[in-house]
Amino acid sequence: MEQAESSAGVIDILSGALSGIWWVVQNIAMAFWNLGYALTHPTLWLDWSNSEAIMRFVYYGASVELFFVAFTFFLVIFLVGLWRNAFLWGTVRVLEGFANSVGRVVAWAGLIMVLQQVIIIFIQRIFARPDLSIGFGLPITFDISWWSEELKLYNAMVVALCLTYTFVQRGHVRVDLLYSPASFGTKRVIDMFGSLFFMLPMAVVIWLYSWFFMWRHLIVPNPSASEDLDRLLNKARALRWNVETIGFSPNGFTAYFLFKVLIVIMVGMIFIHAFAFFFRSFLEWKEGPASEGKYLDLDTVEPGEEAFENKEF
């Protein structure tokens, strides 16, 4: 009797595993159809004069279909890269170049933040003005408290948009007792495992929360992750834009919805870079220690001085 129950349990586990694998294969196969249909029918989700198109965009922005389209896209790149390493190295250079370019531009927001803070102090303490105008030709005028609260946006931009840039530059600190003493090949295997089973799942989970969190501050009725497409399309009849403009003070910053947008962009860049990191780790593992840091575009602090690289503890 116990053996029969044990056998039935094993069969159930195998059946569930096979069902899951078949589900993944089906979604990968359907990804080509879904992508083709979306590209050939853009008005169904990009015509934002139609409230139903907005709801379709909201729904599919955090859907299983979108995930498998993105996953299949990078899977095809990887399969081609198995045949031609040069193609995969090119992909790595493009993705890392994108992260570097965005980070190097956005990093200047730190300087802007400092300069704006100095101006605010001068206007407040020396000229005793309640407002501040910035601009050429068409100046933008807001209360001093608006400009003061806006400083947090620059800080958020640096954190959100320079995250993958810092990762490419190896600026993150590793605290790992197992990774540091490991051999070169073992490190690359750990990196590949981490990118697929830590970075990607983390990015997907945060995306699911942040995507609807953002849209709940842009439109009403509020969309929910638990609602299917039909229910959202029914809500579209009453849809209207309701962009969050409430500040923490009466005359404070009125564009806090931008922080929600930054979260979504940040997670999207993490998702993309997880594949770039996997591709690099795979190629370095395949080609050996001689390929470590190949095509890696690191910043230099001064001529002849290398940029700070991650420390392992």
What's the confidence (pLDDT) of residue 89?
A: 96
The answer to whether 187 and 214 are in contact (CB under 8 A) is: no
What's the confidence (pLDDT) of residue 265?
A: 97
**Global pTM value:** 0.90
Q: Report d(CA 283, CA 290) in Å as an integer.
A: 11
Per-residue model confidence as pLDDT tens digits over 265-306: 999 999 999 999 999 999 999 999 999 999 999 987 666 555
What's the confidence (pLDDT) of residue 313?
A: 47
Comparing CA positions, the residue from 141, 115, 139 lying closest to residue 130 is 141
Q: Report d(CA 110, CA 220) in Å as an integer.
A: 34
Q: In a structure prediction context, what are the per-residue pLDDT tens digits for the chain, which is 313 residues long?
A: 555 556 666 777 888 788 889 999 999 999 999 999 999 999 999 999 999 999 999 999 999 999 999 999 999 999 999 999 999 999 999 999 999 999 999 999 999 999 999 998 888 888 778 887 777 777 888 888 888 899 999 999 999 999 999 999 988 777 677 788 889 999 999 999 999 999 999 999 999 999 999 999 999 999 998 999 999 999 999 999 999 887 777 778 888 999 999 999 999 999 999 999 999 999 999 999 999 999 999 987 666 555 555 555 4
What's the confidence (pLDDT) of residue 6?
A: 62
Instruction: Tell me the domain boundaries of the chain.
Output: 83-306
What's the confidence (pLDDT) of residue 4?
A: 57
